[in-house]
Amino acid sequence: MRNRILFITAAMALAAAPALSQLNLPRPSPKASVMQVLGTTEIVITYSRPAVRGRVIWGDLVPYDKVWRTGANEATTFQVSADVRVEGQKLPAGLYSLQTIPGKAEWTVIFNRNAKLWGAYDYKPEDDVLRVKVKPLPAEMHEWLTFVVTPTSSESGLVTMGWEKLKLSFAVTTDANARAVADIREAMAKLKADDWRTPYDAATWAWDNKVALADAAGWVDQSIRVQENFWNLRMKALIAAESGKKADAKAAGEKALAAVAGMSRKPPADVIDDFRKAMRGW
């Protein structure tokens, strides 16, 4: 009898449970994602995009001083492929739900380790990995909530959320340059005897990004020792000029221009013209 009662109770519970819908219907707040590489770190934000639809958003639909999913439906997620700094504070590589606490004058941006939340209903502050404070700013009208990631340098960017007439931004910084220099030094230690291109590429990257110029001078000299040519002599001159060594820059520049005559495949005319202009400034 007891087993029969348990069976009937289980059957009733199953009958009462709602069936999972097999329909794939349009959502009022469609899903979206944005991906941006900063340095060598990939940032992916996945979110649902609610529309204003004539509603009062701030302080009404989205209350002040309460945790908000920062979108609609599932909580917005924020994923980084390597450690970064958000507003100067460390955020380890990983996948997070991106929660916020809106305020009239200041917002709290929250990175929570539980990335599988529906909204903020089961949000637990003890799962927070990082909180930062940012100021909201007035903005042009955004009918649909929008996230963008805008690079601001070779290793940093600005994440901006815009909705209605408000925008919220926070800075993300990677250590891409430090990792690149470490990778270059490792590659230099394993360099093949006839490889002039790798140290040249390393020196060019350093000059482009204005980092590790003392190392770059050594890398380009290493390239020249293997095979002296217009390209690495030109780079030697540019690095010397950037480092304030104008006499060395001129000497390397003149050798670079002289090397053009013996080249079967000449450098583009605009490259030579720009280099001559740079030399006149030395």
% residues pLDDT > 70 (the chain): 93
Token representation of residue 32: 């979206």
Q: Which domain holds residue 246?
A: 176-280
Query: Can you tell me the mean pLDDT for 117-139?
Result: 94
β-sheet bridge partners, residue 171: 158
Same domain (yes/no): 188, 167: no
Band of pLDDT at residue 20, cut at 50, 70 and 90: low
DSSP secondary structure letter of residue 204: H
Of residues 241, 244, 243, the one with CA closest to residue 280: 241
Assess if residue 221 is contained within a domain: yes
3-state secondary structure of 139: strand
Q: Do both 118 and 192 map to the same domain?
A: no
Any domain includes 15: no
Please list the helix, strand and coil fractions of the chain in percent, rounded to the nearest 5, in that order. 35, 30, 35
Instruction: Determine the Cα angle at 122 with ends 121 and 125, to 5°.
Output: 110
pLDDT at residue 227 in the model = 96
Mean pLDDT of 174-199: 94
Q: How many domains does the chain have?
A: 2
Residue 7 is assigned to a structural domain of this protein: no
Edge-to-edge strand list for the sheet holding 84-86: 89-91, 84-86, 156-173, 137-153
**Boundary residue ending a domain (146, 173, 200):** 173
Q: What is the mean pLDDT of the chain?
A: 92
Q: What pLDDT shows up at residue 5? A: 45
pLDDT at residue 4 is higher than 60: no
Residue after which a domain boundary falls, among 173, 200, 229: 173
* pLDDT category of residue 27 using cuts at 50, 70 and 90: confident
Q: Are residues 156 and 41 in the same domain?
A: yes
pLDDT at 17 over 70: no
3-state secondary structure of 216: helix
One domain, residues 192 and 135: no
pLDDT at residue 24 above 50? yes
* Boundary of a domain, candidates 173, 202, 230: 173
The closest of 72, 77, 67, 63 to 120, measured between CA atoms, is 67
Total count of residues recorded for the chain: 282
CA distance 19 to 124: 29
Cβ–Cβ < 8 Å for 175, 79: no
Segment 187-221, tens digit of pLDDT: 999 999 999 999 999 999 999 999 999 999 999 99
Are 205 and 222 contained in the same domain?
Answer: yes
Residue 10: inside a domain: no
